[in-house]
Structure 1
Amino acid sequence: MTGKQTTAPERTRRSARQLVAASVGNAVEWYDWYAYTFLATYIAAAVFPKGTGNSLVPLLSTFAVFAVGFFMRPVGGLLMGAVADRRGRRAALTVTILLMGGSSLLVGLTPTYAAAGVAAPVVLVAARLLQGLSVGGEFAASTTFLVESAGPGRRGLFSSFQYVSTTAGQLVASGIATLLVDTLDGPAMDGWGWRVPFWLGGAFSLVGFWIRRGAAETRSAAQRQAPRPDLFEALRRHPRQSLLIAGITAGGTIAYYTWTSYLPTYAELNAGVAKSDALLVSTISLAFFAVLQPLGGLLSDRVGRRPLLLGFGVGFAVLCVPLLHALRDSFAVLLLVSCAGMVLLTGFTSVSAAVNAEVFPPRVRAAGIGFPYSLTVALFGGTAPYVGTLFKDLGHSGLFPWYVAVLCLLSSLVYLRLPETAHRELER
């Protein structure tokens, strides 16, 4: 063997660079995604004005806002996962962040309906297509990259940064959107203010791209020399693992989107909580959630993944209904309910990347994770706010907590039969 041996400090620095490359890029990806969510009402007013008399506009509006973003994610997971398996994890990560940067700029440059007519919503739909493609591919590539970059006994810790960075991106997007709304008057915000976060997102993406270009490839030399897998090889040759990813994810994604995205709206609709209080609680609990993730990851490296997953699944199955029914018009109660859910949720989020990566062999690891995970998120996570609102509109709002609890119980049955992989060597 030639060359000097890598020292412990050098290995630590290399691991830190890998962690930063994955986390910064992932935070930028999710900043762009959530910026659209926070500013959707301003975008709709500019691009989908009421009373246009054109039947295409409300159709495209519904398609863009409610469907395109989430349901392009499985396609992105499959395509970008295949790029990661065939060309390398780093190559896929650079593509996804450039896609997100381009789509963010496209949203920021979307013309108004008054200026461009139906072309305006068409441009916005195209931007959302690219965003969904990018976010779906990002999870597949960054999950694989993070876990393969981890040293022995650190896969859980590295895995946890998937949601640390996701939450950081959400908080930054929320902060910038709030600052703009509080600083600019109505006409300025309606005219150009809503575009600023997307221009910033394009700039942030270039920074993330630069950082990722310096990351080390984690696909092994043996994998680089092996024949390239075809697009559907993971689904065709590993159907059991694909179904396993869906079962692992279903309860986790409904709980995640309920607690991190829908809970403020649920509290407003069902408990009369003021919007300002609900948003403040959301910000505090998200920061608390980000701090919990590395602790959960470290714990899983010591005691295993399955105990944390079972703690999450059974905990949510038992406590989701009483927690949501306990909500009332009280800042303190909402904060307590929100933080309690975040503690339980950490049992899933802090280890999900590691568990997913440990299920598939390296040859098809990224594509194998990307498609079933993103499809499950689209079916159960992305629809959580709409299912909750539908129950409310039908006069059965009390059924929504049971819906979440049942999905978490079903996932718990999967966790119960899941083999423990925390202390096994990761196949490379």
Structure 2
Amino acid sequence: MSQTATVQPVSRPLRQILASGVGNAVEWYDWYVYSFLAVIFAPQIFPSADPTAGLLSAFAVFAASFLLRPIGGLLIGNLADRIGRKNTLVLTISAMGLGSLIVGLTPSFEAVGVWAPIILVLGRLISGLSVGGEFAANTVFLVESAPPNRRGFYSSFQYVSTTAGQLLASGLAALLVNVLSPAQMSAWGWRLPFVVGALLSFVGLWIRRGTEETLVVKATAERPRLFEALFKYPKASLLIIGVTIAGTILYYTWTTYLTTYVPANGGVNSGQFLIISTIALFFFMLIQPVIGMLSDRFGRKPFLIGTAGIFAVGIVPALSLLSRSEFPGTLVVTLLGMLVLSGFTAISAALNAEIIPTRVRSAGIGFPYSLTVALFGGTAPFVGTLLKSWGVPGYFGWYVAALCLISLLVYIFGLKETAHRPLPE
């Protein structure tokens, strides 16, 4: 007998949002602390006569940790389809705390030699596995907790909490950079945010233990197989990949790579751009629920088409403006980019859940989504830095524009409107 999986209503949906959001913020806080502080700790772990080479190594580890995300999305997503979303979310945040602690305690290359980058890679791989599973389970958990006509609104809190974690990461990084001397930051200051992340994971763990399960599994004689979603719903899996390509390259370009790109090419320094980034992220966090509610009324497609279309045309001019603007101009361009990007981020969780049936929803979303993020999102800082080292930084904008065009075609011709349909069983 095949397993039948259904979604059960929850009695306290707002508590579901809070519990999901707090844990998710802690997870992503650690993820972004790494990208913000890579330029500082890279010489300690990857010493080189060429600073760019050390930074490339640090970003290569960042990209490598993304390779574990599809595996986490598949394995942990399958676990969420088998044992439920709640227990799986407890597991992912515990793993993230461990990975953060390992990175924070990584000794320098001078102290232990080649073991330093090995230990760092171990910590980031654990984090990558955890984050892949986190998205797979948490996305589904949020959307399944929502009333049918508010899935976009609930979906938006995926990136509200992600951005809250990023704000905490950028805020703490900015504080440390401005309070500690460069020598102190290089020696030990960069470790503090990772240790804080490990401690915060215990808070998220405690909160998540009080959530309600959304998945009801009947007839347990047959559980979902590991690759069942791919083999049974290949069109849906490919659709998730096509939908995600533009969103992930834009998200990691605008929220991660700009922290390196703008100070290196623009008219503001690192400290100034951290302030700009913090303001922009706060705006980004506030706008998510608004876009989510609008998508519940007007549908998902108009916002997706708008995001991909505007960036396909505007990313090259936007990067050019950022490379020659002072503080006010850089802030305006960054805010506008955040607003347009919200057309994807606020609704991506709802859209993905509306494509894949309940029985294999977590793994069915987790693997193709995380694979796409690994290929195009996690590599964005590395590709941008590499192109700059080759003397052609302007090519990065055209690379992003081409990926946006691919998703734009998917949004227009391959995606049906899903906002006003029931979740597929």
Which structure 2 residues correspond to residues 102-181 of structure 1 after superposition, within 5 A?
A: 102-181=98-177
Equivalent residue for 1:15?
A: 13
Deviation at 1:37, TM superposition (A): 2.0
Match of 1:183 among 179, 183, 194: 179
Give the alignment's TM-score, normalised by structure 2: 0.90
Equivalent residue for 1:421?
A: 418
Partner secondary structure for residue 12 of structure 2: helix
Match of 2:61 among 62, 65, 84: 65
Q: Distance in 1 between the 2:258 and 2:27 partners? A: 23
Equivalent residue for 2:402?
A: 406
Larger mean CA deviation between 337-346 and 393-402 belongs to: 393-402
Residue by residue over 1:113-139, the C-alpha shift from the partner in whole angstroms, topping out at 9 and shown as x without a partner, is 344333333222211110110111111
Equivalent residue for 1:7?
A: none
Equivalent residue for 2:190?
A: 194
Q: Distance in 1 between the 2:252 and 2:270 partners? A: 18
Q: Distance in 2 between the 1:238 and 1:307 partners? A: 25
Is 1:309 aligned to residue 304 of structure 2? yes
Equivalent residue for 2:6?
A: none
Larger mean CA deviation between 344-353 and 413-422 belongs to: 413-422
Equivalent residue for 2:272?
A: 277
Taking structure 1 as reference, are residues 172 and 363 closer, same or farther at Cα in structure 2, changes over 3 Å only? same
Equivalent residue for 1:247?
A: 242
Deviation at 1:290, TM superposition (A): 0.8
Match of 1:256 among 240, 248, 251: 251
Q: Distance in 2 between the 1:111 and 1:12 partners? A: 46
Deviation at 1:396, TM superposition (A): 3.3
Q: Distance in 1 between the 2:328 and 2:42 partners? A: 34
Larger mean CA deviation between 273-282 and 88-97 belongs to: 273-282
Taking structure 1 as reference, are residues 343 and 67 closer, same or farther at Cα in structure 2, changes over 3 Å only? closer
Equivalent residue for 1:8?
A: none
Q: Distance in 2 between the 1:87 and 1:138 partners? A: 15
Larger mean CA deviation between 11-20 and 245-254 belongs to: 11-20
Read off the aligned partner of 1:301 and give its amino acid letter. D
Larger mean CA deviation between 134-143 and 396-405 belongs to: 396-405
Larger mean CA deviation between 244-253 and 332-341 belongs to: 332-341
Deviation at 1:227, TM superposition (A): 2.1
Deviation at 1:177, TM superposition (A): 2.1
Larger mean CA deviation between 32-41 and 300-309 belongs to: 32-41
Is 1:372 aligned to residue 368 of structure 2? yes
Q: Runs (4+) of structure 1 moved beyond 6 Å? A: none
Q: Distance in 1 between the 2:253 and 2:342 partners? A: 14
Equivalent residue for 2:31?
A: 33
Taking structure 1 as reference, are residues 198 and 274 closer, same or farther at Cα in structure 2, changes over 3 Å only? closer
Partner secondary structure for residue 72 of structure 1: helix
Deviation at 1:237, TM superposition (A): 1.4
Taking structure 1 as reference, are residues 26 and 226 closer, same or farther at Cα in structure 2, changes over 3 Å only? farther
CA RMSD of aligned residues (A): 2.4
The answer to whether the 8 Å contact 1:80/1:137 transfers is yes
How many aligned positions are there? 412
Deviation at 1:65, TM superposition (A): 2.5
5+ unaligned residues in a row in structure 1: which ranges? 1-10, 52-56
Larger mean CA deviation between 73-82 and 311-320 belongs to: 311-320
Q: Percent identity?
A: 59
Q: Distance in 1 between the 2:292 and 2:276 partners? A: 25
Residue by residue over 1:127-183, the C-alpha shift from the partner in whole angstroms, topping out at 9 and shown as x without a partner, is 111011011111111101010011121100111111111111011011122222333
Residue by residue over 1:293-347, the C-alpha shift from the partner in whole angstroms, topping out at 9 and shown as x without a partner, is 0000000011111111111111222222333333323222211211111111111
Q: Distance in 2 between the 1:63 and 1:322 partners? A: 25
Taking structure 1 as reference, are residues 399 and 117 closer, same or farther at Cα in structure 2, changes over 3 Å only? closer
Partner secondary structure for residue 127 of structure 2: helix
Taking structure 1 as reference, are residues 46 and 326 closer, same or farther at Cα in structure 2, changes over 3 Å only? closer
Residue by residue over 1:26-73, the C-alpha shift from the partner in whole angstroms, topping out at 9 and shown as x without a partner, is 10001111122222244334333448xxxxx98x95696243211111
Is 1:220 aligned to residue 216 of structure 2? yes
Partner secondary structure for residue 421 of structure 1: coil
Larger mean CA deviation between 63-72 and 146-155 belongs to: 63-72
Is 1:300 aligned to residue 298 of structure 2? no
Match of 2:329 among 308, 328, 333: 333
Equivalent residue for 2:343?
A: 347
Taking structure 1 as reference, are residues 154 and 63 closer, same or farther at Cα in structure 2, changes over 3 Å only? closer
Partner secondary structure for residue 425 of structure 1: coil
Q: Distance in 1 between the 2:226 and 2:121 partners? A: 26
Larger mean CA deviation between 136-145 and 232-241 belongs to: 232-241
Taking structure 1 as reference, are residues 371 and 288 closer, same or farther at Cα in structure 2, changes over 3 Å only? same
Read off the aligned partner of 1:165 and give its amino acid letter. S
Match of 2:41 among 40, 43, 61: 43
The answer to whether the 8 Å contact 1:64/1:128 transfers is no
Equivalent residue for 1:4?
A: none
Q: Distance in 1 between the 2:215 and 2:11 partners? A: 19
